[in-house]
Amino acid sequence: MKMLNAEKAEKRTTILRLNILAGFISVIIFSILMIISDYATLAERKEADQFYNYMIIGSLLYMAVIWFSCVFSKPFWKPGTK
């Protein structure tokens, strides 16, 4: 990877951090939906909870991948950092 100038490096860092924030917001939204949703039958509840669990786990994995890419690629494209 080539070294970026300071402006582009800051822009890339901001984009990655906004992606982490988007993953966190989706975790919060799906957690709230899981808590406050009302269902007619137990089968509907199990089906919806399974979907919410998959979305929460997917969002957490997304956040982790983006965080790893932010932390471990920083020395390659951000000048003057370790």
The pLDDT value given to residue 28: 98
pLDDT band at residue 9 under the 50/70/90 scheme: confident
CB 19 within 8 A of CB 25: no
Tens digit of pLDDT for each residue in 22-72? 999 999 999 999 999 998 999 999 999 999 999 999 999 999 999 998 888
Q: How far apart are CA 70 and CA 65, in angstroms?
A: 9
Angle of CA points 36, 67, 14, to nearest 5°: 95
CA Rg, the chain, in Å?
A: 18
CB 39 within 8 A of CB 48: yes
